[in-house]
Structure 1
Amino acid sequence: MSAPLEKLLRDARIDLVLSRIEKDESVLKEVIKYIDSNIRSIKFNSIHVLGEVGKKSVNAISKIVSCLEDEDWSVCREAARSLGKIGNIAKEAVSYLSSLLENEEESIRKEAAIALGKIGNPTLESISRLIKALDDESEIVRTEVAIALGEIGSDAYEAIPFLMKSLKDLSWIVRTASAQSISLIGKESTKAIPSLISALEDPDWRVRYRVANALKEIGDASVPGILEVLDHSNKIVRKEAIDALGEMKITDPKIIHAISKLLTDKTEMVRGKTADTLRNIGKAAVPNLLRGLEEANNKMKVIIISALSGIGSDAIDAIPTLISILEFIEEINSDEIEIKKNLLYSKSILPRIKLMFSTLNEYFSARVKSEAARALGSIGKDSENAISALEYALINPKFIIRREAALSLGKLGSSAVVALPSLIEALEDRNPDVRWRASEALGIIGVSTENVISGLSSLVHDKCDYVCEAAITALDDLAEN
């Protein structure tokens, strides 16, 4: 035998009450009646249940509103919370909830702010009280008030100047909520651009993230202001400004040129973010990235080439440059080798440091070429010159270049069929990574010749497991084709 509804409410068996309502909505009328109960737990849980039901509780709104004046603060708070869950149909509660923003109990002020944001339907009084509550002594109340103003949207445009002030709040949570709400309000949010740009210097990354998002939401109107801080003395501001521009659909060559100047910024993270932003811009930024390659050190070249690769087929104009990088041969004479030996065996620490940097430079030089090979796999599908350059790179002395060349030929698929003989030779490479990628490439290209089958079969028992697996997979793919 099922328990009486009154007992379930008294015992806070909310799940069972909700289950009954789901099966029989007439139970909802009984729950509404229990709001008048003199037993605190029954009254409290009735209000709670009605909030969980949401808009179905439309007939209970007036009774719940009356509970906002209950002497028990917890009942008052629960009424505010439930009205927020019921949503915009509870507009008659707006005036009462607004007055609760000055209640002595912090949790009531908090729930009143949340409810006002969810209900919407603002009045001049409710907006005025929310603006005043931005100065509440409680951090959590100020945060929820800022969020509520954003949820109300354009009708809260009068709050923009006060939210701008809140961008300097001592709490990063409040600053973050304020930045987000400025962008959500939209109307007249352009007035907040100077304050938002100043907030790019905020010490908390979460605030900067929301500020950058707000500037992105505002759009074109924020671009002139952002451009002005691209040469800011603070590297964080420069980085965040570039990041904000990266999410916009920039097509103006002058703006792209201004952004590309930061490819030579003195700070690595700014240079990297600039390359990433130019990648997001796409085809229009390719000439700027190519110019950036000319002045970049090897480490930065890797980043720029990666950005070109990310642009994909729209970066077709970069193919000649990438080929020249891949085919460039650095001459090392016997005198240079002798110098390095002397550095290595020197008793002084300084010559050894010089050797270390020389070795690092050689490493990054190989990285540049391998990145160029990888990029050609993303860009050079219809380029015979790109395929020839990758085929030639299969005999490069550096294994990482040979590996990336094999990988890229595989990416190019059937258009790289002319490279089959070179890939078959690469199956005998001394480095397992090269044999692995060459096997994969042959499987992807999908041309089954006697030499291809023979070469892949010879790797089925390779000493490296992943090479064996790649060869077997390639043979299976060729058999299916």
Structure 2
Amino acid sequence: MPLKHSAFVRGAAVVFATVLAVWLLAACAPWYRAYDIASDEDLTKISAIPELQKALKDSKPDVRVMAAQTLGRIGPNARSALPDLVDVLDDDRYEVRAAGADAIEKIIGPDPGEEDRDLMVRVHINRLESKDWIARLNAANHLAEMGPEGADAVPALVSALLDKSDWNSRYNEVRRAAAHALGEMRFAARAANPALIEASRFHDYDVRLEAVKALGKIGPKNDTSVIEALKASLKDPDFDVRREAANSLGGFEVYADSTVPNLVKALSDRDFDVRREAAHSLGRIGPKTDGTVDALVILLDDEYADVRKAATEALGNVSPDYREKVLPGILSRLDDINEEVRLAAVNTIAKFRIGNEPVFQALERSAHEDQSFKVKKSALETLYVLKGLDAGTAVAGLRTRPAGPASVAVEAPVILQKTPAKIRSTVDVLNIRSMPSVNSQRIGKLYPNETPLLLETMPDWLKIKKPDGTTGYVFREYAEVVSMAGAAPATMETGTMKTAAAAAAGAAVTVPAAVTPPSAMMIRSTADVLNIRSVPDLKGRRVGKLVLNEEAKVLESDGDWLKIRKPDGTTGYVFREYTEVVAKAGDAPAAMKAAAAAAAGTAMTAPATMIRSTADVLNIRSVPDLKGRRVGKLFLNEEADVLESDGDWLKIRKPDGTTGYVFREYTEVVSGTTAAPEPSPVTVVKPQAPETLPAVTPPAPVETAAVPSVPKVRSIVESLDIRSEPYGDEQVGQLAQGEEVEVLDTLAEWVKIKKADGTTGYVFKEYTSLVNN
């Protein structure tokens, strides 16, 4: 019996040992042995991809994680596995979802194409679920760069913004980034407004700041809850938040009756940035009440130049009934110590179109005695324009001012009467509305080749009348004046042309003496020691110093700061208040060159070519291709120098030095020509020096019959999606490259089109070109 028992025990032990050995061998075997992958070397081969795709569906989470990680190491060659990795993003385990997101990002690479953008949005949404605050921060920043195209991530960004599980200072950076990303998505993120309103009351002031900025960018402009939140933010303890609230409220002109009293109060804020932005916003809305106008007039004497400039510009948009009242205050700004304020005063006087003795005397004094060439030029041209407009009115007589080295003959002034003007659209299709509001009924459309009469001017709207009798309002930003009765077309008439015309007629032309402008702006320090900082902030690191009267070149202007470079190469920011402009000899601008040429009888060549953007936002790309990297932006009417022409593209350089390519279709020439590299010189015959300058009546503009045509655009990309609404998800069709369609309407970045088969929808404007006007 004991022997039998002993044999049984030995047999059981052998079986147990065998089972244990098999289990240990299986446990120690690499995970991929369960699939048709022989070794570690085979894991990263393309032939292993089908097996790795199977492993993504393994029942063990750790196997799914390792399969995803391995596909990520293979990189772009594993694109065939993307559909399976997309399924992994819905896995019930976060570590598996994170590994799938990492793999997708590595396979797509750092520069995703159009076809991969939606997938990258899902990757960033996955990152926003991470417990790592840096991963969430990076995801929000990437979504901000994508703008409205990342709108699918709005719910995830709202969750990140309102996440109350972590209130440490680091996680506040995630909240700031989430609010910023929502703002960059504009109207597509309107569902986030309640969350942003809540965030505008958070403890961290940077979060409140980004939330207020986002509310101003998103709108919509008829959301009263947003307006109330911004009005409350005008009382925020932090001045940056109050500044952005004041700036944002300027866009809600539909509810001006509600917002204006709060903005008027902000004009007396203790911080100058808040006062400046409040003045800007009131200027955009248009000062229409005694209280608003009086508060802005008081601000003309503010201690800060930027505030005085903003008040001067804002008063330029007062209703006609207040112009006589504010004119003395504007004339007083012609003696301001700051060049930009004086220039703003000249521009406001030009808007008022009032010609009387004080106006003419003030403009003459500025044209001859001002230390700034820009102010002299603008004042002289404004004087010419006002005299040109006065040509059709009763004149008491002609008199010559006392002779001198810089005298200008003027007529006895009278109050100028507005004469009929015509405007044209600067966009493909401009809606005509029944009232000056974006919410009013559309009653017609204006095309670029039509020139209706201008009946009335408002701060943001123009009342017009078409030849067919249609009368209504168009948005001022998308229109420009093309002609006036008794004056040359506004888009062409400048001091240069008027001076040349006067010279050709044998009139005496005198110009301000000693007006050689700087070739590049130079400043010098007016303080004993002026710190140069790394950023435009008093808390920025000091990188150098300017001693009293030491000069430096100005690279760019940033509010109260100037970015400068010293001769030794030191570059940084200095506080503008402690500097003054130093004039250096250089080429005179076109207007004064023409006057000098007319007086001397010399030849003048055409100015260098400049263009301006006719689109709200025009991308600047690194190469002349729509797939080129974006290196900057040109905003509506922003100007830049043309360096060269390349087919449908122009290589340009902005004043801040940004260089790249823009699509020619969305630009217009400001000066020079993009077609003629060597313009022929224009010779002006020297006159016989008569004693006075008689009024020059420019030729009446040649009017052509407006024949409206239906504008068309064509696709400039291989396949252009047609969507049911701007930024919408529903795709209703596609345009092939070169396919032409009718334009029904235009928005900021979208065009509403109609195909030949009747398909109607929206396409992204940047990927189209105009076929005809």
What is the aligned partner in structure 2 of residue 268 from structure 1? 272
Task: Please tell me whether residue 291 in structure 1 is matched to residue 260 in structure 2.
Answer: no
Letter in 2 for 1:193: L
Structure 2 counterpart of 1:71: 66
Percent identity of the aligned residues? 11
- Give 1:255 deviation, angstroms: 0.7
* Structure 1 residue aligned with 2:510: 455
Mapped partners of 2:53, 2:290: distance in 1 = 63
The equivalent residue for 1:190 is 193
Counterpart residue number, 2:684: 479
C-alpha distance in 1, partners of 2:211/2:76? Answer: 27
CA drift at 1:247:
4.1
Q: 2:161, 2:386 → 1: CA distance?
A: 57
What displacement does 1:192 show?
A: 0.7
* 1:443 partner amino acid: T
Residues 454, 479 of structure 1: CA spacing in aligned structure 2 closer, same or farther, 3 A cutoff? same
Give the drift of 1:222: 1.1
- 1:427 aligns to what? 406
Q: 1:375 is matched with which residue? A: 345
Deviations 1:240-292 (A, max 9, x none): 22233234445422311211211111111211222222233346589725432
How far has the Cα of 1:179 moved from its partner?
A: 1.2
- The answer as to 2:109 corresponding to 1:139 is no
CA contact (8 A) 1:283 1:311 kept: yes
Is the contact made by 2:246 and 2:281 (CA closer than 8 Å) also made in structure 1?
Answer: yes
Deviation at 1:224, TM superposition (A): 0.5
Contact 2:217 2:248 in 1 (8 A): yes
1: distance between equivalents of 2:103 and 2:352? 61
**In the TM superposition, what is the alpha-carbon distance from 1:391 to its structure 2 partner?**
3.4
Query: What one-letter code is carried by the residue in structure 2 that aligns with 1:479?
Result: V
- 1:169-248 equivalences in 2 (<5 Å): 170-171=170-171, 173-182=173-182, 184=185, 186=189, 188-199=191-202, 201-203=204-206, 208-209=209-210, 212-219=213-220, 220=223, 221-248=225-252
Amino acid at match of 2:594: T
Query: Secondary structure of 1:99's partner?
Result: coil
Rate the CA distance shift 1:473–1:402 in 2: closer, same or farther, 3 A: closer
Give the structure 1 partner of residue 118 of structure 2. 118
Q: For residues 294 and 229 of structure 1, what CA distance do their matches in structure 2 show?
A: 24
- SS, match of residue 234 in structure 2: coil
Structure 2: segments with no counterpart, 5+ residues: 1-39, 109-115, 391-397, 409-492, 518-583, 598-603, 605-681, 686-697, 699-773
- The residue identity in structure 2 corresponding to 1:268 is F
Code of the residue aligned with 2:498 in structure 1: it is I
Match of 2:359 among 382, 385, 389: 389
Gaps of 5+ in 1: 1-36, 48-58, 329-362, 430-439
Change (3 A) 1:271 1:322: same
Tell me if the contact between 1:263 and 1:275 (Cα under 8 Å) persists in the aligned partners: yes
Displacement of 1:229:
2.5
CA contact (8 A) 2:56 2:88 kept: yes
Instruction: Give TM-score, length-normalised by structure 1.
Output: 0.57
Residue 76 of structure 1 aligns with an amino acid whose one-letter code is L
Residue 366 (structure 1) aligns with: 336
SS at match of 2:132: coil
- Aligned residue type for 1:445: K
**Equivalent of 2:496 in 435, 443, 455:** 443
Counterpart contact for 1:309–1:375, Cα < 8 Å: yes
Equivalent residues, number: 381
Distance verdict in 2 for CA 1:197–1:190, change over 3 Å: same
Quick check: 1:309 aligned with 2:313? yes
Q: Return closer, same or farther for 1:428/1:391 CA change in 2, 3 Å cut-off.
A: closer
Residue 147 of structure 1, CA deviation: 6.1
Instruction: Report the alpha carbon displacement of residue 178 of structure 1 after superposing the two structures with TM.
Output: 1.7
The structure where strand makes up a greater share of residues is 2
Deviation at 1:143, TM superposition (A): 3.9
User: Aligned pair in 2 of structure 1 residues 208, 78: CA closer, same or farther (>3 Å)?
Assistant: farther
Q: CA deviation at 1:414?
A: 3.7
SS at match of 1:297: coil
Structure 1: which amino acid aligns with 2:273?
M
